[in-house]
């Protein structure tokens, strides 16, 4: 190889590396489940920037100056939708004005569940519904692994458009991810089959997509403030609900004080459990989504039919 051809070859490598790195460095994901899917599709190309790290909630996150800088330079921002990342939505649309904002809840073909209101399901004060073709639907769409597969394919299409040099890689990664999600769905379905008829209630009605995919039986919700313990009258009301609905388990989330569950289940036959729908306690990365769903399945199974109990 001549000196000129070597120089030309090296220059081409530098240009390709710069183009690829630039595309990867300017891909942003809002919170961990979204980041996990984007990371898996980008495997071997780059790592997307995660805004909400650690135990951050998409409803209450306070954006840092460094996040604002990243949003301002982003080429594409992946999120579920304004009503999920409510603490960030304004900043995303203002600071990320030059970026393509992809709302994954709007991906064509997703299973969309109607909101549950009234009866045993209480209003928790958060607007989790979104208008789609004139109808409101529950925005926790990522908790159905079939939906996650469709999101992965949409993520790959978007990345291929902004970084065509790596389109084949994105497509292959997305296809592999969908296959793994199909396997995960089958595994969880088999694991949860024995507890499908066990009634439970939740503090936050966030699990309908997971419930419906795997045939679980939520019978209501019990709204409790994360900032203070419920009063005596409220505790009595919730205990009565637990007894009247024949509840086997009451599920809270990591953001709730675990003593809340004990207050509500005391004097009843129900047990207490914790489910983490946003993966607050799970390490970020391409495998995070799989850990999230496996952890949820384990939590439901353990509380609804613990070893030696049923």
Q: pLDDT, tens digit, for every residue of 189-227? A: 999 999 999 999 998 889 999 999 999 999 988 877 766
Confidence of residue 60 (pLDDT cuts 50, 70, 90): confident
Looking at per-residue pLDDT, the higher value among 209 and 85 belongs to 209
Q: How confident is the model at residue 97 (pLDDT cuts 50, 70, 90)?
A: confident
- Find the mean pLDDT for residues 124-148: 75
Residue in this structure with the two tokens 């509500």, named with its chain if needed: 264
- Spatial distance between the Cα atoms of 199 and 193, rounded to a whole number of angstroms: 14
Q: State residue 15's pLDDT score.
A: 35
**For residue 54, with 0-12 CB atoms within 10 Å meaning exposed, 13-18 middle and 19 or more buried, which class applies?**
exposed
pTM of the complete model: 0.86
Give the CA count within 13 Å in the CB-facing half-sphere of 53: 7
Helices and strands in the chain: count of H runs, count of E runs? 10, 10
105 Rama sector, left if φ>0, alpha if ψ -120 to 50, beta otherwise: alpha
Integer Cα distance of 205 and 126 in angstroms: 10
Tokens of 37: 């899917």
| pLDDT over 70 percentage in the chain | 85
Task: Assess whether pLDDT exceeds 60 at residue 14.
Answer: no
Identify whether the C-beta of residue 304 lies closer than 8 Å to the C-beta of residue 200.
yes
| Calpha distance 226→231 (Å, rounded) | 13
Q: What is the reported pLDDT for 224?
A: 75
Query: In the numeric block, which tokens belong to residue 299?
Result: 């939590």
Confidence of residue 87 (pLDDT cuts 50, 70, 90): confident
Q: What is the mean pLDDT of residues 64-77?
A: 92
Is the pLDDT score of 127 beyond 70? no
Rounded CA-CA distance 157/174 in Å is 9
What is 253-270 written as a DSSP string? -TTS-THHHHHHHTTSS-
Handedness of CA 87, 89, 92, 93 (dihedral sign): negative
- CB environment 13-41: b (16+ within 10 A), e (fewer): eeeeeeebeebbbbbbbbbbbbbbbbbbb
C-beta separation of 90 from 77 below 8 A: no
Comparing 175 with 64, the larger pLDDT belongs to 175
Four-point Cα dihedral 215, 219, 220, 221, nearest 10: -50
How does DSSP classify residue 4? Answer: H
How far is CA 75 from each of CA 136, 278, 295, rounded to the nearest angstrom? 30, 25, 33
């Amino acid at each position: 190889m001549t000196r000129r051809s070597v120089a030309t070859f090296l220059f081409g490598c530098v240009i390709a590396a710069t183009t690829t790195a630039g595309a990867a460095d300017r891909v942003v994901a809002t919170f961990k489940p979204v980041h996990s899917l984007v990371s898996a599709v980008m495997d071997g190309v780059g790592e997307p920037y995660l805004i909400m790290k650690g135990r951050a909630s998409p409803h209450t996150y306070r954006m840092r100056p460094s996040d604002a800088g990243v949003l301002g330079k982003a080429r594409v921002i992946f999120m579920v939708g304004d009503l999920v990342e409510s603490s960030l939505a304004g900043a995303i649309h203002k600071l990320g004005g030059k970026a393509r904002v992809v709302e994954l809840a709007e991906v064509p073909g997703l299973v969309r569940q109607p909101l549950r209101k009234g009866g045993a399901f209480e209003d928790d004060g958060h607007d989790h519904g979104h208008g789609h073709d004139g109808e409101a639907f529950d925005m926790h769409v990522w908790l159905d692994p079939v939906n996650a597969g469709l999101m992965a394919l949409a993520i790959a299409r978007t990345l291929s458009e902004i970084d065509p040099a790596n389109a084949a890689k994105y497509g292959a990664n997305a296809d592999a991810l969908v296959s793994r999600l199909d396997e995960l769905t089958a595994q969880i379905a088999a694991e949860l089959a024995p507890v499908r008829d066990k009634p439970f209630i939740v503090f936050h009605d966030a699990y309908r997509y997971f419930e419906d995919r795997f045939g679980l039986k939520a019978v209501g919700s019990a709204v409790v403030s994360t900032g203070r313990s419920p009063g005596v009258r409220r505790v009595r009301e919730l205990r009565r609900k637990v007894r009247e609905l024949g509840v086997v388990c009451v599920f809270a989330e990591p953001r709730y004080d675990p003593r809340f569950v004990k207050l509500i289940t005391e004097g009843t036959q129900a047990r207490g459990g914790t489910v983490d729908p946003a993966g607050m306690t799970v390490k970020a990365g391409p495998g995070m989504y799989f850990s999230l769903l496996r952890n949820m399945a384990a939590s439901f199974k353990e509380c609804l039919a613990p070893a030696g109990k049923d």
